[in-house]
Amino acid sequence: MAKSLKVLILGLLLTVLLLVALTRHVPGFQISSFPVLFNTLAGTGSPVELETITDLLVSPKGFELTLFADNIPNARFMKTTPAGQLLVSSPKTGTVYLLADTNGNGKADEHIPLIGGLNRPHGLDIHHDGETSWLYIAETNAVGRIAIDWSTASTKSDYQRLITNLPNTGGHWTRTIQFGTDGWLYLTVGSSCNVCEETDPRRAAMMRYRPDGSGEQIYATGLRNSVGFDWAPWDNSLYATDNGRDMLGDDFPPCELNRIEAGGFYGWPYINGFGDLDPDLGQNKSAKNKATLLATSISPVFGFRAHNAPLGISFLSHPDRPDGYRRTALVALHGSWNRTEPDGYKVVALHWDQQGKITSEDFVTGFLRPDDDVIGRPVDIEEGMDGSIFISDDYAGAIYRVRYN
């Protein structure tokens, strides 16, 4: 039997099982979009042509949105290279692609599979060691690196896995990496479940390593699924998005933006959102333990709507920005599945004022149509050397380019 047919049959079977669960009125098991769920299970693309999608997407006044690249199955996390190209991970094909706009027309005309044969590659970063430039890749069970000559887009060494024992069973398979200004490699690993007490302390946590993969440290805990993180350029504070748990209704708990502190505990699985004890694992604690959990857990600095699934976050730093985007991060809201009505499916701009208060406004919308059809799911945000903002879409297999005119 062909692999594609097997995947299709598996997706159909799982969808049927979910439908059965719905008919049995499982508490909290709302599904907001069956096409999105089927895409997640079977890997199908958006039902809408990409040219139509870009026509339907709406960006702020003064910004222009165009299609930068297509035909990138399951396009996820991105990284700008020292030569100005764009890297993007494709977990379902096990490939990291290099995209380049060599003729300057605003669209990638080179689409190179830089390295393949990987185990669901996701997070990407580049680190320089003397004259060597290393591309780091986070696979679902490992982190590896390979030396690259960016001027020729050619590899200079074999791919070497530095961290090889990451937990890779259960749910939340993505691994995200980024080097901090302290020279350490930061890594997030999501929980293995919706809500449970993990046996591996690296689950639902942020860790950090030396560039050679040694010196593993658990940096922060209680982060159910922090897929995206970045440092604010004005004070170097570290912020991470986090996906709240499912099966507690349409509007609870909120998804989160957390300000990450070394040694910080952020609540999961005992506390949701802003100090609400979890009905499954928090409420059953003794009064003393409840008080201890509430006293030691750090609450979010900002709450997104429930089930919006915030993923990639990127602070804007290019000088070519309107005044209203000087202390701003863009966040990709991947969109809901466990909700009666679909919600999310957009990119939002978070603005910090001088006192640290955060406000939110829409940046790119239109992925969710008025009839509740979903035509795209934003995943990651990357700022290019020329100030272009790139948005990946794993539903349509595309990269969009937003540029301020």
Q: What is the DSSP string of 139-208?
A: -SS-EEEEEEETTTTEE-S--EEEE-----SSS---EEEEE-TTSPEEEEE--SSSS---SSTTTTEEEE
CATH number, domain of 279, equals 2.120.10.30
Task: Say if 390 falls within a structural domain.
Answer: yes
Q: Find how far residue 114's CA is from the centre of its chain.
A: 21
Contacts of residue 302, defined as CB under 8 A and 6 or more positions apart, other chains included, come to: 256, 257, 350, 358, 360
Q: Assess contact for 301 and 355: CB atoms under 8 A.
A: no
Has residue 181 got a pLDDT over 60? Answer: yes
Region 26-44 average pLDDT: 58
> Which pLDDT belongs to residue 45?
60
Higher pLDDT, 234 or 24: 234
pLDDT band at residue 49 under the 50/70/90 scheme: confident
> Which pLDDT belongs to residue 338?
85
Task: Say if 10 falls within a structural domain.
Answer: no
pTM for this prediction: 0.91
Residue 203 has a CB neighbour count (10 Å cut-off) of 24
Q: For 298-334, what is each residue's pLDDT tens digit?
A: 999 999 999 999 999 999 999 888 889 999 999 999 9
Helices and strands of the chain, counted as H and E runs: 4, 28
pLDDT band at residue 26 under the 50/70/90 scheme: low
Region 227-240 average pLDDT: 97
Contacts of residue 120, defined as CB under 8 A and 6 or more positions apart, other chains included, come to: 91, 92, 94, 139, 140, 173, 174
Has residue 401 got a pLDDT over 80? Answer: yes
Q: Assess contact for 178 and 201: CB atoms under 8 A.
A: no
Which residue is listed with tokens 């829409």? 362
Task: Say if 249 falls within a structural domain.
Answer: yes
Length of the chain in terms of residues written: 405
**Residue in 360, 359, 358 with CA at minimum distance from that of residue 347:** 360
Longest dimension (CA), the chain: 65
Residues 245 and 190: their CA atoms lie apart, in Å, by 12
**Residue in 367, 359, 372 with CA at minimum distance from that of residue 398:** 367
Has residue 25 got a pLDDT over 50? Answer: no
The backbone region for 218, taken as left when phi is positive above 0, alpha when psi lies in -120 to 50, beta otherwise, is: beta
Task: Say if 251 falls within a structural domain.
Answer: yes
Residue 347 has a CB neighbour count (10 Å cut-off) of 22
Report the number of distinct structural domains present in the chain: 1
> Which pLDDT belongs to residue 259?
98
Which residue is listed with tokens 């970063």? 125
Six-digit token string for 264: 């910080």
Task: Say if 19 falls within a structural domain.
Answer: no
Quote the domain boundaries for residue 293.
31-404
Has residue 132 got a pLDDT over 90? Answer: yes
Residues 166 and 227: their CA atoms lie apart, in Å, by 15
Has residue 224 got a pLDDT over 50? Answer: yes
**Residue in 333, 358, 334 with CA at minimum distance from that of residue 348:** 333
Has residue 73 got a pLDDT over 90? Answer: yes
Q: Nearest-5° angle of CA 391, CA 395, CA 399? A: 25
Task: Say if 60 falls within a structural domain.
Answer: yes
Six-digit token string for 214: 């040694």
